[in-house]
Structure 1
Amino acid sequence: MASHVTAVFLAFFFVFSGSVAAIENFDYYYFVLMWPGSYCKQSSAGCCLPKTGKPELDFFVKGLFPYSTDGTALIDCNKSPFYTNEISDLESELLKYWPNIKCPSSEGKYLWRNTWNAYGVCSGLSEHDYFNKALELREKIDLLSIFNKNGIVSTDYADYSLANVKKAILGGIGASAAIRCSKNQWDESQVYEIYLCVDKDAKTIIDCPVLPVSNCDPRVVFGSFTYDMLKNVTSLTANPIRMRAMNSM
């Protein structure tokens, strides 16, 4: 009996101490927002309406990721389980701003579980606080409003200077951001993910100690995102030639 108790204690000790060490070693968060219009256009698979209904036509939360100052992500720190009932009061907001639009249609819960199991467990936050803080950051930043106020409107018929997109973000939130792009079906560089850095309090936007390397072209597309796109279709290839208005942004 004593040996069994000792074994259980040692297992708990190593898991707990490993988690504490990981939490102590992380220095900031990457808060990552994803533009769903770019997700829909980066492959012929398109995107699908979630089984839980329509999300918002806005940037989606991709995650709140703990990082160290050498640019290393902290993942899989412990085996703290994911419980859906812990975030039941947040579910309506998560379905709007943290949905799964991958085809075929599904729910978002497995996406939240995977993010928690990989990164949330390293955040030093409870499960509820982890998702709540991410939602609060999205609302506080309101990146789509910042874009619109600076004339960066989601459309398939214009492109924008990457430098001006970065300038708009800096002016809107007071800190630099990294922009990652993907290619749409017309081989254009499109705004896909925005990386912002957040202090360990999970609420204060800071300048990034390390910025991810941008893979964007000097001019980028900020394509449309509409509910009509949320279905499992390949019809996006039906209009391969477009006339684009010249944009000086």
Structure 2
Amino acid sequence: MSRYAGFIALALLALAAFAYTAFKPSGTSTPSPAPQESTMLPPAAPSPARLPQGTGFDFYVLALSWSPTFCSLNPGGNNRDQCHASKDYGLVVHGLWPQFERGYPESCASDAPQRVPESIGRAMLDIMPSMGLIGHEWRKHGTCSGLGQVDYFSITRTAYEKVNAPPALSNAGQETRISPEALEKQFLDANRGLEPLGIAVTCEDGKFEEVQICMTKDLEFRTCPEVDRNSCRQRNITIPPQR
């Protein structure tokens, strides 16, 4: 019997090895290496484009003229671009004026051309309806902004688009009578952040002439007591209807 003992032990060993391999629990398998987490971050969102920054002044005054008043007070052929019977302008840009805390600069020395080329001016006619007005505003006020013509008129449009017209103007299908204070209140209600000391409603010949709104160089509303004093002192004014 002893002569077969070695063979029997070897056979039992082989059988045990086979059984372990065949019936090994799945949980004992060697785990695959865990994938390493990527260290790359998603691309950062682009930062908002900054407005062109003017220099040499403290803040802006955006002057928005009521075109029906201007045309009623300036009849004749000199303003056909704005006042022709086929035109129906409402609030238009009179100008974007660099301002000091007291007073303002005007007609400044500039390396930029004095004349505004049509390629720039024509693109502004929907909100500044006269090449003559565009050229005048550039020479008197734009040259004091520290900006080139393209940037100056670009920021003028941005400032214009920031202001919401109040109901008395957006629904001006017929002549309206209103107090300057009530019209100013409508502007305040329609434009969040605008304060009473940051706006002036002006008048001429008993009619609403324009609104002057003070803005920082980043076109945020701000106060400006000196400009606020330009406000109309009449008890009531009329708003000529928009065609």
Shorter chain as denominator, the TM-score bin is 0.5 to 0.7
The one-letter code of the counterpart of 2:220 is T
Q: Find out whether 1:34 has 2:65 as its counterpart.
A: yes
- Give the TM-score of the pair, scaled to structure 2: 0.65
Q: What are the equivalent positions in structure 2 for 1:172-187 lying under 5 Å apart?
A: 172-173=190-191, 174-175=193-194, 176=196, 177-183=199-205
- Give the TM-score of the pair, scaled to structure 1: 0.64
In structure 2, C-alpha distance between the alignment counterparts of 1:29 and 1:219, rounded to whole Å: 28
Deviation at 1:167, TM superposition (A): 0.7
Where 1:178 maps in the other structure, the secondary structure is: strand
User: Does the 8 Å CA contact 1:152/1:160 hold for their aligned counterparts?
Assistant: no
Aligned to 1:207: 223
Identity %: 23
Number of equivalences: 182
Aligned to 1:222: 239
Q: Could you list the runs of 5+ residues in structure 2 that have no partner in the other structure?
A: 1-53
The one-letter code of the counterpart of 1:38 is T
User: Does the 8 Å CA contact 1:55/1:95 hold for their aligned counterparts?
Assistant: no
Aligned to 2:98: 66
Q: Could you list the runs of 5+ residues in structure 1 that have no partner in the other structure?
A: 1-21, 101-107, 184-188, 227-249
User: Does the 8 Å CA contact 1:66/1:122 hold for their aligned counterparts?
Assistant: yes
Aligned to 2:167: 147
Distance 1:55 1:212, change over 3 A: farther
User: Does the 8 Å CA contact 2:121/2:134 hold for their aligned counterparts?
Assistant: no
Point out which structure has higher relative CO (alpha carbons under 8 A, 6+ apart): 1
Aligned to 1:124: 146
Map Cα deviations across residues 60-97 of structure 1 (whole Å, 9 max, x no partner): 10111111111x11112204314544x726623x1111
Deviation at 1:194, TM superposition (A): 0.4
Where 2:98 maps in the other structure, the secondary structure is: strand
RMSD: 2.8
From 50, 53, 58, give the equivalent of 2:81.
50
Where 2:214 maps in the other structure, the secondary structure is: strand
Map Cα deviations across residues 186-223 of structure 1 (whole Å, 9 max, x no partner): xxx1111100001023x222222422422341111111
Larger Rg: 2
User: Does the 8 Å CA contact 1:55/1:97 hold for their aligned counterparts?
Assistant: no
Where 1:81 maps in the other structure, the secondary structure is: coil
From 194, 197, 201, give the equivalent of 2:211.
194
